């Protein structure tokens, strides 16, 4: 039962994310994210399309959760983040979160990669407490892979549970965050949370094979029309954190889901937007990270666009 797990009290008046809805998720799913108190897993798989230190050659043990505390109009995971009530998921009633983690470890994955974990933090803490204390328990690092809309107090609770933080730094203007993702006060909550993440784990550290073992990795998705906001984010990382933070500059944006309703973002990014960000990161002295190649058509991007109704989810080949 939900009431039996150790951290269930955090769900009684939910303030896990900056929305701070105050909903009792043990009894209702009326909050912004529409999540109840029962964890919902879309799928767990070895993912080879993440950043090189995360995917390596054995894959990242990726667990995709249903629901999200952001409502991005261009979300590529909209099937499970926004329209999840319409998607029948075979695994959610048949596997516990800790069992899913241990199964991915048994497959040889380098890490456990939790996608959209913010609203499931109590369940994650409970599952990790169980998985790490079992015989032949969980020993690989855990990646917290989020959209970056975090309550800094929730991030503080995760100290000791998470080895690798991999948040987005999606916006540097709150107006953009509200317009395209339906969230308020994104910038201040994102930045305070990144400072806390860095305090906990520092810059990226890898093993002898270049596989991440701990540290902060920040994703910067170039969005058409507002690409310049990334420059402010890069300034923050350099001057408030450090250039030892791993940055991932992402050019993979596609106008998916409801983006067609916003003409200014209903296109791919262009080469000028891409070059300006890459050049600025180089100018600031960032040396640790990855830059996605620029592609001016959707064909290559489509390989990494998930379809959660298909068996393999992704079209790319290992």
pLDDT digits (tens, 9 = 90+) for 12-44: 999 999 999 999 999 999 999 999 999 999 889
Q: For residues 256 and 83, give the distance between their C-alpha atoms in angstroms, rounded to a whole number.
A: 13
| Whole-model pTM over 0.85 | yes
| Residue 198 counted as domain residue | yes
Does some domain include residue 33? yes
pLDDT at residue 83 in the model: 81
Q: What is the mean pLDDT of the chain?
A: 92
Nearest to 48 by CA among 311, 306, 310, 278: 306
Smallest CA-to-CA distance from 123 within 28, 6, 17 is with 6
> Higher pLDDT residue, 308 or 243?
243
Examine residue 312 and state whether it is found in any structural domain, yes or no.
no
Q: Which of 31, 30, 32, 87 is nearest to 64 (CA)?
A: 87
Between CA 248 and CA 257 the distance in angstroms is 23
**Domain assignment present for 166:** yes
Residue 310 included in any domain: no
Domain count, the chain: 1
For residue 282, what is the domain's CATH number? 3.20.20.70
Strands 205-206 and 212-221: what pairing? antiparallel
Question: For residue 221, which phi and psi values (nearest 5 degrees)?
Answer: -85, 120
φ, ψ of residue 74 to 5 degrees: the values are: -110, 15
Scanning the structure block, which residue is given the tokens 């002295």? 285
pLDDT of the residue at 279: 97
pLDDT tens-digit profile of 159-192?
Answer: 999 999 999 999 999 999 999 999 999 999 999 9
pLDDT band at residue 6 under the 50/70/90 scheme: confident
CA neighbours closer than 13 Å in the CB half-sphere of residue 38:
9
The pLDDT score that the predictor gives to residue 315 is 59
In a domain, 309, yes or no: no
Q: Looking at residue 280, what DSSP letter applies? A: H
Q: Tens of pLDDT along 115-168?
A: 999 999 999 999 999 999 999 999 999 999 999 999 999 999 999 999 999 999
How does residue 92 score in pLDDT terms, banded at 50, 70 and 90? very low
pLDDT exceeds cutoff 80 at 296:
no
Q: Looking at 88-92, 101-105, 185-189, 278-282, which range is the least confident one?
A: 88-92
% of the chain residues with pLDDT over 70: 90
- Distance (Å, rounded) from C-alpha 268 to C-alpha 123? 37
**Could you tell me if 149 and 70 are in contact, meaning their C-beta atoms sit under 8 angstroms apart?**
yes
Q: According to the model, what pLDDT value does residue 305 have?
A: 78
8 Å CB contact between 138 and 160: no
Q: Which residue has the higher pLDDT, 93 or 102?
A: 102
Give the domain range for residue 135.
2-302
What is the percent of the chain where pLDDT is above 90?
85
pLDDT at 93: 44
Residue 314 located in a structural domain:
no
Answer whether residue 318 is part of any domain: no
């Amino acid at each position: 039962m939900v009431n039996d797990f150790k951290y269930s009290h955090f769900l009684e008046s939910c303030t896990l994310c900056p929305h701070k809805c105050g909903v009792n998720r043990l009894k209702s799913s009326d909050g912004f994210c529409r999540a109840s108190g029962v964890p919902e897993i879309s799928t767990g798989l070895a993912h080879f399309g993440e950043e090189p230190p995360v995917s390596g050659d054995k894959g990242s043990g990726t667990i995709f959760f249903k629901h999200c505390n952001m409502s991005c109009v261009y979300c590529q995971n909209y099937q499970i983040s926004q329209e999840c009530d319409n998607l029948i998921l075979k695994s959610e009633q048949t596997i516990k979160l800790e069992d899913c983690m241990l199964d991915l470890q048994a497959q040889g994955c380098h890490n456990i990669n939790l996608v959209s974990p913010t609203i499931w933090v109590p369940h994650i803490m409970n599952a990790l407490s169980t998985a790490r204390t079992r015989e032949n328990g969980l020993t690989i690092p855990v990646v917290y892979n989020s959209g970056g809309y975090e309550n800094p107090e929730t991030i503080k609770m995760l100290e000791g549970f998470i080895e690798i933080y991999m948040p987005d730094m999606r916006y540097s203007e709150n107006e953009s965050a509200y317009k395209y993702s339906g969230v308020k006060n994104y910038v201040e909550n994102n930045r305070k949370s990144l400072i806390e993440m860095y305090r906990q784990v520092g810059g990226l550290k890898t093993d002898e094979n270049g596989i991440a073992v701990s540290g902060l990795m920040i994703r910067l998705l170039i969005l058409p029309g507002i690409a310049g906001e990334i420059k402010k984010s890069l300034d923050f990382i350099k001057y408030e954190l450090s250039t030892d933070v791993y940055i991932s500059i992402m050019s993979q944006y596609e106008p998916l889901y409801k983006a067609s309703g916003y003409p200014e973002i209903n296109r791919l990014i262009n080469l000028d937007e891409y070059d300006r960000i890459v050049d600025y990161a180089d100018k600031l002295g960032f040396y640790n990270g990855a830059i996605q190649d620029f592609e001016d058509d959707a064909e290559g991007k489509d390989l990494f666009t998930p379809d959660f109704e298909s068996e393999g989810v992704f079209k790319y080949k290992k």
